[in-house]
Structure 1
């Protein structure tokens, strides 16, 4: 992906190599050490916990002192620069799309971290993978995730794997701004686990669709093979692919993100249409 020399987002905080864990936002007791049970491009799992956690967060936000404990390598510095540029690409694209639909886009934030982080959705470790927290409208990423995405899950290496994940997480921000996530939470509270999982799948596939829409509007920055890299990442993190690799069998009723085929299908639908109105995954999955 073409990114060198482009404008960087001013909404990215890089906490890599720092101690202190960032914002300390939770109250005391067991809630203060909640670990979010999400993995591989999660989003809705965090959102489901948000209403509960916010009750404990009110009035408890503080900032811990941070110190840099190590110097970032040149490769890490460049990766951080690339992430900031891609995040800026999302800001420009979605601001324009929202304007075309007579809406105002509120830019999200991003925090790069290592090992663990405290957020307004709870405390999380790097094991959860990249995620979006609607309570503070922030995307959280430990970039070491992408090494595992390649080595353990077989995704192709390349900048656009990271760009795809960023665009997917920003897709959850779009859902927050449009009220989709809130509606899904209400519906999930009225159904059983199987029904709630199906709604989660629809939400995740829509975030993949929005990632594809973003890619369509940023074709001028794409290199040959970038779309194949995105599809490789989508293939790697399908529920069926993960379950086969980790437990040796597939249990569809437990899917929360969609199959590899579905994730690739909806990303490509977004990419082929570039039209935000074509992403009704909820009715498509009925």
Structure 2
């Protein structure tokens, strides 16, 4: 999606962290392979391990103030996405009976960082950490998504990832993540239901994003186009369990699904897009 150039994204709470050296992480799995086998609460936390690390530096992204900045720079686009999502859920959360408060932080990191869930590297992929209520993304993930797994890319594809992780925050506030933590995997497991619901929440935001205003009343984003929807669906397909398993291990093993198939992820994104967040109860759905 394209930001309105004059929209005020300065309220997007995003920080940036960096290190001189990275955390030592065992294993050689790529970012997407780790994405698949994640099982902790059904969110993207696989690969969080300890290790020695240099002290982190943290900075704000004060240069990201307008929609024009978001259109030109991926880090500013993350700031704009955070501003839009926070405003959307402040409106939508009470409609779902939720006492909404935003994530504690949204951290962009380079190579490695420490979190309330442990230490993470770029190989972890984007994730939401419930203990510190923070979203973590190394934006190099978007290059991996396009280059290795064939997502078409585009701004909405990038913001779909943020909206999905924001959906996990909504689930955490609602107590869904804790209730769904049973360690099971498979096509109808709670792990998959959690992920598909987050996809559905992302679709609900995308459908309404062009109507969500900044504090001056200017919508953050311009109306969505068919091409932008296709970009988001391409990203959802790229992180489907079946597609990733085929690419990384040469075969599909449904019993180990933790995020849902490409078709399911696209379909639930569209469910939210077409019917709104109220239609995102994947836990009552008889067919996923």
Query: Structure 1 length normalisation: TM-score?
Result: 0.78
Q: Which residue of 2 aligns with 1:277?
A: 278
Q: Which residue of 1 aligns with 2:73?
A: 78
For 1:180-235, what per-residue CA distance to the aligned partner results, in whole angstroms no more than 9, with x for missing partners?
A: 001111xx16xxx4469811011100000000111111145244211110000011
Q: Which residue of 2 aligns with 1:215?
A: 206
1:78, distance to aligned residue in structure 2 (A): 1.7
Task: Give SS of 2:189's match.
Answer: helix
Higher RCO, 1 or 2 (CA under 8 Å, sep at least 6)? 2
Structure 1 residues 90, 242: CA separation in 2 closer, same or farther (over 3 Å shift)? same
- Gaps of at least 5 residues in structure 1 are 23-31, 50-62
User: Where do 1:1-286 residues align within 5 Å?
Assistant: 1-3=1-3, 4-8=5-9, 9-16=11-18, 18-19=19-20, 40=32, 45-47=39-41, 64=55, 66=57, 78-108=73-103, 109-185=105-181, 188=182, 193-194=184-185, 198-220=189-211, 221=221, 222-224=223-225, 225-274=227-276, 276-285=277-286
- Range 142-151 or range 222-231, more displaced: 222-231
CA distance in 2, matches of 1:78, 1:197: 38
Structure 1 residues 89, 174: CA separation in 2 closer, same or farther (over 3 Å shift)? same
Q: Do 1:43 and 1:172's aligned partners in 2 also have CA atoms closer than 8 Å?
A: no
Task: Give SS of 2:73's match.
Answer: helix
1:106, distance to aligned residue in structure 2 (A): 0.8
Question: As a proportion of its length, which structure holds more helix?
Answer: 1
CA distance in 1, matches of 2:192, 2:97: 28
1:277, distance to aligned residue in structure 2 (A): 2.4
Task: Give SS of 1:284's match.
Answer: coil
RMSD: 3.3
1:46, distance to aligned residue in structure 2 (A): 4.5
CA distance in 1, matches of 2:173, 2:72: 31
Q: Do 2:56 and 2:113's aligned partners in 1 also have CA atoms closer than 8 Å?
A: no
Q: How many residues align?
A: 253
Q: Do 1:98 and 1:105's aligned partners in 2 also have CA atoms closer than 8 Å?
A: yes
Instruction: Give 4+ residue runs of structure 1 displaced > 6 Å after superposition.
Output: 32-35, 74-77
Q: Do 2:41 and 2:191's aligned partners in 1 also have CA atoms closer than 8 Å?
A: no
Structure 1 residues 129, 116: CA separation in 2 closer, same or farther (over 3 Å shift)? same
